[in-house]
Structure 1
Amino acid sequence: MKLRNDIEQLRIEGERGRRCFYPNNHLQQQALAARLHGGQFIRPYRNMYARSEYWHALPPPEQARHIIRAMSHQYPNRVFAGLSAAAMLHLEYPWKLHHDESVFIASPRGRSTGTYSRLHHIVMRTAPTCTLVDHFGNGQFATSVIPETLASAAASGSNVADTVNIVRITTPARTLIDCGLRYPFVQALPMFDSAFRNNLVTRGQVLDLCNEVHIDCSCVLRLLHYANPLNENGGESLCYGTIIDEGFAVPQLQHVFIDPDNPWVRHRADFVWHTHDGRVIVLEYDGTRKYVDPKMTHRRGIQDVIRDERDREDALRRAKVTDIIRTTYDEVVQRTPLKRKLLDADVPMTVANPQYERCLDIRGRER
């Protein structure tokens, strides 16, 4: 009975701290192994456990955070890097990057023989770090980012009440560099957009660190050139990156159109091109949540949402928009359907029209 109560207490503490739990002794480990066969618990990582129903309800980035938080309790001095640090910073990126369930840590050396295959080392002599402190404030789970210079105070808990997790990660600038070096342009761009949108780092800080590391950062520089915090979510960033990667002109983002029949009504378009022959092309990115998430539909039915979209398109055409294109996440990922739509609408290509390249300021606006 005591053993069962001990495991239940570990589970409760783990779920409260939004992390996996792990056994403290051999008896607990044996008891958990028996429950694995019954399907009550799952082992998502070596020596880490979670309630099956609870675990499967978590999206992949949160599953990664649960593993990382548990690992930070097991190894307090470990510094998480790359995609693991991006997950802890709640950056936007395609969830499929977690397909192999890898964990990334900063290390002065490469992986040694016998190291767990899902634990990847990103080699760096001295890792620029910051500390994430998870705590409960007014009953709400919250995370504070603590500079490394104040990490000792965070570890002592003197400044934060009810601390539940302390996780060391690479700084946002180093995290973006590592992810920019590892992942394709369209997958890494949402990380850069969201980092700038949430004011976690500046372009200058990333550029300064690029100059310090002894690595070819040309792909990171390309990401810095095109990153735009005006993309409101990871889906828009993915679409924006795909447009650029396919060689189309860089669009304006979140352009506001005024309905001439109702001047008080304004509509923001996701992507806009103003061509030299006077055409105005709008591309709208439609995420599925736009039609099914009550928070985004304001609890209206799908037919009501679709009717509103038609009214919106009519208003855009009254505002002199000549072409309206709609695309979805699946079309963006497949690329060919999106590319065909852009070609059919005669969206300018950068190669043929270099003047369509744009230089953006820190807010994503054209200089």
Structure 2
Amino acid sequence: METKSATDLKLELATRHACLLLPADTPEKRRLDRRVTKGTVCMPYPGAYALAEPYNKLNPRAKARMTLKAIHALHPNWTFCSFSAAVAHGLQVPRALLAPVHIAISPTESRRKNPGHIACHTDHGGSRVITDGMPCTCLLQTLLDCLCATGFRYGLAIVDSALHYHLTTHEKLARHFADHGKGRRGIRQARQTLAYADGRSENGGESIVRAAIIELGFQTPELQIEIEDPMNPGAPKRSDMGWRLPNGRYILVELDGLSKYLSTNARTHEEPSVYQAVRTMRAERLRESHLNLTGATILRLSFAQALDADYLFRLLSTAGVPLNKETSS
């Protein structure tokens, strides 16, 4: 039986605790670097290592959280802000915004902190909190920073998740934006995004698709619509989003894709089994068959199709989704 080295045991322990391994000394770093060359170990952040196979199976936000933990261990006095703080707060940060890592610095502090991996932002004050064991900007400030720094689609995914997890309220956010957003670059976009925020959105994908629909000029869809199930009276079926037309007919949008069935939990990072995913898919198809009996028009589309503006506009127009009065006038 092969005896595992101390480095092997450390890597396995780090994997179990969802952490990156920081080498104890130069010889251990050299051993890890050799394994990186062989491909059995990866280095997600300079000086921080993980077993490649289990690390590569993690979802992007879980990987980002591990990187934040490693950076905090290396630089305990750094304060995370913007999208990095949003990850620490457990929000649905789209993968395109997960890198680089964002930290808050004083106006006189050097911005040269591992260029390419770290983005520095001038700290103009505001409260700090410890969340997930790391110093971060407070939730309200983090959301203001995020919504000022990104567009409508990604910003809506982030702020929707804060409301969905009941971490704050729309009223508190609006008040904070009014008190601290004056004169900030991007504040107009942030306020427009906040106006559409809705905690009933169950995941970032739904939020991004809803934003795409709104951007095309269609009426804002209602979320989590419940329709009476004719096969099971008293047990209504629910749809991701849709519209109730003046004649009482529903047009429902169902976002499809493997992520809906195999996604990891954003706050616990736990993955369901394939068996659970198949059961979920079967229940989804049964639910949809019952919705069809109500006469509703069901539009099932992938995330990629939802982001194809020409396709999405043709699909919704053909189905009869109404445009906003301002858009159609």
Report if the CA contact (8 A) 1:102-1:120 is conserved. Answer: yes
**Equivalent residue number for residue 266 of structure 1:** 236
Report if the CA contact (8 A) 1:287-1:329 is conserved. Answer: yes
Report if the CA contact (8 A) 1:248-1:347 is conserved. Answer: yes
Partners of 2:298 and 2:280 lie apart in 1 by 26
Partners of 1:198 and 1:299 lie apart in 2 by 22
**Equivalent residue number for residue 155 of structure 1:** none
Partners of 2:40 and 2:230 lie apart in 1 by 61
Alignment of 1:1-367 (within 5 A): 5-98=5-98, 101-109=99-107, 112-113=111-112, 115-133=114-132, 166-210=133-177, 211-213=179-181, 214-216=183-185, 217-260=187-230, 262-276=232-246, 279-289=249-259, 294-298=275-279, 306=285, 308=286, 311-317=289-295, 321=296, 323-352=297-326
Q: Residues 25 and 291 from structure 1, CA distance in 2 versus in 1: closer, same or farther, beyond 3 angstroms?
A: closer
Name the Cα RMSD after superposition: 2.7
Deviations 1:274-311 (A, max 9, x none): 3346543222222335567543542776xx864x2552
Q: Residues 90 and 354 from structure 1, CA distance in 2 versus in 1: closer, same or farther, beyond 3 angstroms?
A: farther
Report if the CA contact (8 A) 1:78-1:105 is conserved. Answer: yes
Partners of 2:260 and 2:157 lie apart in 1 by 19
> Which amino acid in the other structure matches residue 342 of structure 1?
L
Structure 1 residue runs of 4 or more that deviate by more than 3 Å after TM superposition: 259-262, 275-280, 289-294, 351-355
Larger mean Cα displacement after TM superposition, 107-116 or 31-40: 107-116
Deviations 1:149-203 (A, max 9, x none): xxxxxxxxxxxxxxxxx21112221221121122221112111111101111222
- Give the superposition deviation at 1:112: 2.6
Deviations 1:51-108 (A, max 9, x none): 111221212111111111011111112111122112222212332333xx31111122
Structure 1 unaligned spans of 5+: 134-165, 356-367
Q: How many aligned residue pairs are there?
A: 311
Partners of 2:321 and 2:289 lie apart in 1 by 24
Larger mean Cα displacement after TM superposition, 108-117 or 197-206: 108-117
TM-score by length of 2: 0.84
Partners of 1:252 and 1:119 lie apart in 2 by 39
Report if the CA contact (8 A) 1:177-1:220 is conserved. Answer: yes
- Give the superposition deviation at 1:259: 3.3
Deviations 1:234-279 (A, max 9, x none): 2211111111111110121112111356423411122232334654
DSSP-derived class of the 1:268 partner: strand
**Equivalent residue number for residue 271 of structure 2:** none
> Which amino acid in the other structure matches residue 123 of structure 2?
M
Q: Residues 234 and 121 from structure 1, CA distance in 2 versus in 1: closer, same or farther, beyond 3 angstroms?
A: same
Partners of 1:314 and 1:84 lie apart in 2 by 42
Q: Residues 294 and 221 from structure 1, CA distance in 2 versus in 1: closer, same or farther, beyond 3 angstroms?
A: farther
Q: Residues 111 and 55 from structure 1, CA distance in 2 versus in 1: closer, same or farther, beyond 3 angstroms?
A: farther
Q: Residues 59 and 314 from structure 1, CA distance in 2 versus in 1: closer, same or farther, beyond 3 angstroms?
A: closer
DSSP-derived class of the 2:251 partner: strand
Q: Could you tell me the percent identity over the aligned residues?
A: 25
DSSP-derived class of the 2:71 partner: helix
Greater strand content: 1
**Equivalent residue number for residue 162 of structure 1:** none
TM-score by length of 1: 0.76
Report if the CA contact (8 A) 1:267-1:316 is conserved. Answer: no
Partners of 1:41 and 1:14 lie apart in 2 by 12
DSSP-derived class of the 1:91 partner: coil
Partners of 1:342 and 1:285 lie apart in 2 by 14
